[in-house]
Structure 1
Amino acid sequence: MHTEIARAYPALFTSDEDLGADTVRIQFEDRTLCVREGTTVAAALLLHGAGPFRTTPVKSSARAPYCMMGVCFECLVEVDGKASRQACLTMVRDGMVIKRQHGASALDLSDEGAHHGCC
């Protein structure tokens, strides 16, 4: 069963702080979000009602942050073209482009056969 995850979701959390001058702009899917500097990607997306962050490789089940401390890997997203970034451990920065991760990430095998410190 494939779950539709691109629809709009209500924000799960609210912030009681004004954004103020210390804000950055990030791009999530087709939305520009203004978030407070020093916020993790996971917190920023949850504050803006992002819904599920990724789907599983086998059944395409929707997943979202669970532990918020880097243990469970449920919050994996693509950040600036790099897959499998833990949103709960990644701080936002101005101009960051974030996308949902669908299924397994592709491995970059462009340097296949290169020697990495052995023989």
Structure 2
Amino acid sequence: MTIDSAARDADQPQFVRVAEMRREPLRFFLDGREVEALQGDTLLTAVLMHQRRVRDSEFSGAPRAGFCLIGACQDCWMRGEDGKRLRACSTLVTEGMRVVSRLQAQTPSQPQGNAGASR
């Protein structure tokens, strides 16, 4: 794989929808841009339909895309624009939901990392 093809692949979604395409669409905001999901999609599915990762690690900045996909591993936590933590694999997308996947997408007033996060 060349550097150019790796960079091109990084811009491609992780998931491609192959079934259940007749559900009603809805709009949500991912890192400030309006994107589409379908009714009943989890946040994890909806985000990975648009990009290759769910979030950047708050510890290393490395990309994370979920691990267990059933709510046991803690790898798919995301934040709403308001700083609220959301488990992407078990949170359904709602119309107008606003989430961030990149630490730099958060405003300075929003918490980063786990300090003070409720468990």
Q: Would you say same fold, with TM above 0.5?
A: yes
Equivalent residues of 2:27, 2:95 under 8 A apart:
yes
Equivalent residues of 2:71, 2:87 under 8 A apart:
yes
Amino acid at match of 1:81: D
| CA offset digits 1:68-119 (Å, max 9, x no partner) | 11011111111251433110010000000001264513427xxxxxxxxxxx
Amino acid at match of 1:13: F
Output the TM-score relative to the length of structure 2.
Answer: 0.70
> Match of 2:27?
25
Tell which structure's C-alpha radius of gyration is larger: 1
User: Partners of 2:48 and 2:72 in 1: how far apart?
Assistant: 18
Among all aligned residue pairs of Structure 1 and Structure 2, give the percentage whose two residues are the same amino acid.
22
> Match of 1:100?
101
User: Partners of 2:15 and 2:22 in 1: how far apart?
Assistant: 19
User: Partners of 2:41 and 2:56 in 1: how far apart?
Assistant: 20
Of Structure 1 and Structure 2, which has the larger fraction of its residues in strand?
1
Aligned residues: 100
TM-aligned CA deviation for residue 19 of structure 1: 5.1
SS of residue in 2 equivalent to 1:34: strand
SS of residue in 2 equivalent to 1:48: coil
Judged with a 3 Å threshold, the aligned counterparts in structure 2 of structure 1 residues 9 and 53 are, in CA distance, closer, same or farther, namely same
Output the TM-score relative to the length of structure 1.
Answer: 0.70
User: RMSD of the TM alignment (CA)?
Assistant: 2.4
In the alignment, is residue 65 of structure 1 matched against residue 66 of structure 2?
Answer: yes
